[in-house]
Structure 1
């Protein structure tokens, strides 16, 4: 179901450009053919409808082939972050109970070789058609979990399609659009690239990873490729505004930019809006569980340096409610995930009233929703959702760590950064902790700073005194 738009485009314009990566390209017909080969290989292995299949391929054309192959086989894809430590990848593969792992080349040393399928070895073949129900699972995206382990968010075909269709209409996507892609598969921003863009017959152009560290070259690439749209994180767009040489770079084709995943500092957004006066800007908002539930078309005249920007109005048919007691945003609607995926089964996450309680504190001011931070401890680091409890669980398991806590500090380039406050045995030092965390946590979860104390402050009831801890850290 989710690929209906893409398959339709394959019939309408089989020779049109679908994907471009460096000097390589795939037409719609070529992408479909390669995906069908993967689907046929999965079905030959006995993969059943709805079963999870992991993808161990970095973002790019091969990753899209793998995703579409999984979906054409009626299975559900579980994208893996190749930068993650092997222990974390093993946990995800085991928790999801995947039936196969798609990749390229040699089997990773941490993986059971019986699960591996090299997509380069998939011979051309037409898969048998399979029935896919709208409520069937299409993807499981693992995020940082409050239990100390990654947690899978299970997304149905209908939920992703509801967002993709709404986004394609909002941006008026056409086959003439050339869209930049920088979001990895495990990041929900990728659902726009895969299904809104390719469902509308536009072409997807993969941003070279090295350009994210070279903003002037990045802006030049956007111009050279005649990019008309891009969905990315605020930190990258802020970097582009400050160092991208936009005043001297012609970006006449750039119709729109969308940002999500973290708060966009208003001064940086003002600079970006001024540098690109002809480009429409959009703030998309929502956790992975809702994809996008709220959006704000940036109104340049409304931007003021001392004020945060709105998150706007309900998106994609979502209903929003603010809990009167806590100010928490509750969401229900067609883009909502089916639940959490734990140990191979689905767990619902709606509250007693039938809403998803987001954990975000919001208000309505002059008819627009505004975001006021998290009610819990969750951090947003470079667009990634990070639960401090997961970092704490790893740190507390290290010999020589007697107690620890993770705080978040504001970072203008990344939203927030985790800080580890720790009580150590005499024989342990910070360098030893760094080594262990580097092996077990992905880079965006690595603490940016460390603070060693003799003891963590506690409340009379024995719970950690986070307010006092923040005061200690700030002094």
Structure 2
């Protein structure tokens, strides 16, 4: 209508987007609006569907006044949810109003009124929509009157005023009373129907069924009356129940908390109901108690809604491996008072214990923002009223942020502040979850105990002394679906209730000991940051740092990797070492070819620790080239020509090798520009310069080569930053392969197919492993070989197949219809997180195959930990990485470098013989990541 909108104050994202598109400034708060109006008065202020109360002094800043839209016929139906209250009163005529704003709520002079008729089938949703349409027309009338100066204002007849405060709730908070008339029940159902997408800030229509309530989604009044007692279940159909009321019969449809309609027959079966059953009839006292309980909690609904919208699950990291659904097996520990708190008053003990447990949870779970289940104190005025207990949440979210840099007293104050919040807001109506679209989709919130971990404070230990295993009714004590920390306010003692199907008693004992250790440390030094409080006993510390890392084993630490290969050559010179398509090389032939090339590389100036790039497609020459670089003293830098050109050039530029071994595929992959600054040795040449050089092994000591020099430089994937060249020494590689060969290969066995890229460190296992054990190394295109494993075609069984989980998924699809013998004696999977279902496939199809989860970063020389999968993996969320391999140590440390408790979350540190020297040409990172081990003298620690 040609007016300029100066600004908009709103809390609605969609409206804010519209305002932004229309170039209307958005204001974030009432204070900001006040400041703006002081600086620049306006003609009018319009308040439309506005939940904020504006200060009276603001209205004087509007030259023509401030006006509010109300969805009711003032002075009647002032307040909130006016349309619902009108439907409950079964009104047939209605209206909306625009009125001037004064210092009262909905009390100013009326300026526009528009009639709205109420249909017999209207719901809160449909009536609200028609009211909004009338409001738009009324707004045009308001603007026209303001523009022409012909706006008529009249005072409200306050004698006719009725007011509905925000906290007011309908009779029995929407619970249907079957002894009322069908029209009353219909009015209740329709008045509380706001549609599926709008928040319902009143309550939902509900029906008591057995010991629970179910949401009523629709109720239809029938033209007949059965004459049976009110509440009688007349008929049960898949879509509805037919129920007798105080007047006509009704058909009732039910819904779940997720908003979906329920199968009415299945609902009846769940509650063991049949036709003829009589649904509970609420008495007047019960209805009044339910209404009063809901009205008492109503002011806190926004608090709980906002907190529930931040729903998060805190889980213990040391749950038992299986996550398959199983019935709860509740156990209770004995009551316990920590000796460190014996001199404190019971109230102080309770605060100390809760604070200590929350600190402990933050420490072991690696989380600082905690949300747990909390059992609110019971309302003594409602105590024992089963109907109220069913309708009100028995567990609410407790929220505490644990700052590990603060001391215990500061954290205790934070816990005390949260206690005060919980006392002030008590609980919430259970149907809140179904009433809020933002909460309805959170499946866990539909449970009575959504949080795995909970806290309950009881009045005394005697009143709750029963063991949950023998007293099912005492489950009301539980606030956690896995573990409840129960404290006694009378004497400051505590005990645990836990699901023994997922938590072992020894884990509970360990937590008790850790709490005791923490509290003793707090009493000794209250000023210590809580993140540095010692949780471990000396015995557990020794176990974690020493017992779990007793991996010392003899290995030829003074030899280079190619020297071990040469030993195998001397043992089995005629045995087949290398197979590629129709080509084969014996150990003696492979060694001789590598030696001739090695002498050539030495003549070209290759020195120990010098990276030599090699970029060849999969072939005999690729293996010859790798061995030749090692024999010449260099460190091979693998470049897979199948990798993207940009990736290869990035690695080549960063490593800056002086020498490159390649073939036509390598040249093409790198491109001519990349070859300008590097000397190229072409291994495809028909008349190689090294053809007539000696076939004898170069003497490592003659060229100054030791096991402390580099064997290879392999670049990381770059998934956590810029790719970095990891420098691995011969000694580290020898340790890894000595461990691997002893357990996986048989001399003269069928060895391994090399299915992984030689630019990926996981491929090291099957590149060198067979050659050091006298077995066969088979080369083929990785993906092609996965789809057509040679072992499946010629009946062979490999000693070991090593794959990534991604490749394993491909192989499993290939094997779904396969009925022959197992393709391998051992299957090793590494490089990514393992998918339990893929392991389950092998357990079912090839039960005799050894299954190995192999873990380790590139910086730990291929792998540092291994886990033999012998137990069933069905239902597992993940597969353990296992224990450290030979001469390797694995530590889980906290942010201060101290060991975390057994089973807790920490940062993984790897020490021992396998740790790489560092990153090539990245001394600033090497200094940060590769440090001296504080636990084992002489080790590097990654």
TM-score by length of 1: 0.69
Match of 2:679 in 1: 115
CA contact (8 A) 2:932 2:940 kept: no
Pick aligned residue for 1:274 from 836, 841, 844: 844
Match of 1:36 in 2: 595
Match of 2:883 in 1: 313
Match of 1:12 in 2: 571
The answer to whether structure 1 residue 244 and structure 2 residue 815 are counterparts is: yes
Partners of 2:745 and 2:738 in 1: CA distance: 10
Match of 1:155 in 2: 728
Pick aligned residue for 2:824 from 249, 254, 266: 254
Q: Aligned runs of 1:15-94 on 2, under 5 Å?
A: 15-94=574-653
TM-superposed CA distance for 1:284, in Å, is: 0.5
Match of 2:762 in 1: 189
Match of 1:229 in 2: 800
CA contact (8 A) 2:797 2:825 kept: no
The answer to whether structure 1 residue 265 and structure 2 residue 828 are counterparts is: no
CA contact (8 A) 1:233 1:261 kept: yes
Partners of 2:610 and 2:925 in 1: CA distance: 12
Q: Aligned runs of 1:210-225 on 2, under 5 Å?
A: 210-211=783-784, 214=787, 217-218=788-789, 221=792, 224-225=795-796
> If each structure's strand is expressed as a fraction of its own residues, which one has the higher value?
1
TM-superposed CA distance for 1:250, in Å, is: 2.5
Give the direction of change, closer, same or farther, for the CA distance of 1:173–1:128 in structure 2 (3 Å limit): closer
SS in 2 for 1:248: coil
Q: Aligned runs of 1:58-457 on 2, under 5 Å?
A: 58-105=617-664, 107=667, 108-112=671-675, 115-120=679-684, 121=688, 122-126=690-694, 128-131=698-701, 132-145=705-718, 149-211=722-784, 214=787, 217-218=788-789, 221=792, 224-245=795-816, 247-251=818-822, 254-290=824-860, 291-299=862-870, 301-325=871-895, 327-342=906-921, 347-348=926-927, 349-351=929-931, 353=933
Give the direction of change, closer, same or farther, for the CA distance of 1:213–1:319 in structure 2 (3 Å limit): closer
TM-superposed CA distance for 1:173, in Å, is: 3.4
Q: Which of structures 1 and 2 has the larger relative contact order (alpha carbons within 8 angstroms, sep 6+)? A: 1
Residue ranges of structure 1 left out of the alignment (5+ in a row): 359-475
Partners of 2:618 and 2:772 in 1: CA distance: 18
TM-superposed CA distance for 1:247, in Å, is: 4.2
CA contact (8 A) 1:58 1:82 kept: yes
SS in 1 for 2:847: coil
Give the direction of change, closer, same or farther, for the CA distance of 1:226–1:60 in structure 2 (3 Å limit): farther
CA contact (8 A) 2:754 2:778 kept: yes
CA contact (8 A) 1:96 1:344 kept: no
CA-to-aligned-CA distance 1:221-251 (integer Å, 9 cap, x gap): 4654442321111222222223314641223
TM-superposed CA distance for 1:128, in Å, is: 4.6
CA contact (8 A) 1:329 1:357 kept: no
TM-superposed CA distance for 1:356, in Å, is: 7.2
Give the direction of change, closer, same or farther, for the CA distance of 1:221–1:37 in structure 2 (3 Å limit): farther
Partners of 1:46 and 1:344 in 2: CA distance: 25
The RMSD of aligned alpha carbons is 2.6
Residue ranges of structure 2 left out of the alignment (5+ in a row): 1-559, 896-904
Partners of 2:880 and 2:925 in 1: CA distance: 34
Partners of 1:8 and 1:117 in 2: CA distance: 28
TM-score by length of 2: 0.36
Partners of 2:924 and 2:769 in 1: CA distance: 28
CA-to-aligned-CA distance 1:153-211 (integer Å, 9 cap, x gap): 00000001100000111225323243221122111122212332211111111244352
Partners of 2:618 and 2:658 in 1: CA distance: 21
Partners of 1:76 and 1:90 in 2: CA distance: 18
SS in 2 for 1:111: helix
Q: Bigger radius of gyration, 1 or 2? A: 2
Give the direction of change, closer, same or farther, for the CA distance of 1:55–1:270 in structure 2 (3 Å limit): same
CA-to-aligned-CA distance 1:257-293 (integer Å, 9 cap, x gap): 1110112211221012211111111110011111211
Give the direction of change, closer, same or farther, for the CA distance of 1:339–1:157 in structure 2 (3 Å limit): same
- The range that moved more, 194-203 or 275-284, is 194-203
Give the direction of change, closer, same or farther, for the CA distance of 1:6–1:356 in structure 2 (3 Å limit): closer
CA contact (8 A) 2:912 2:940 kept: no
Give the direction of change, closer, same or farther, for the CA distance of 1:16–1:37 in structure 2 (3 Å limit): same
TM-superposed CA distance for 1:124, in Å, is: 3.7
Give the direction of change, closer, same or farther, for the CA distance of 1:155–1:255 in structure 2 (3 Å limit): same
Give the direction of change, closer, same or farther, for the CA distance of 1:80–1:330 in structure 2 (3 Å limit): same
Partners of 2:824 and 2:604 in 1: CA distance: 44
TM-superposed CA distance for 1:327, in Å, is: 0.8
Partners of 2:762 and 2:729 in 1: CA distance: 16
Partners of 1:292 and 1:308 in 2: CA distance: 18
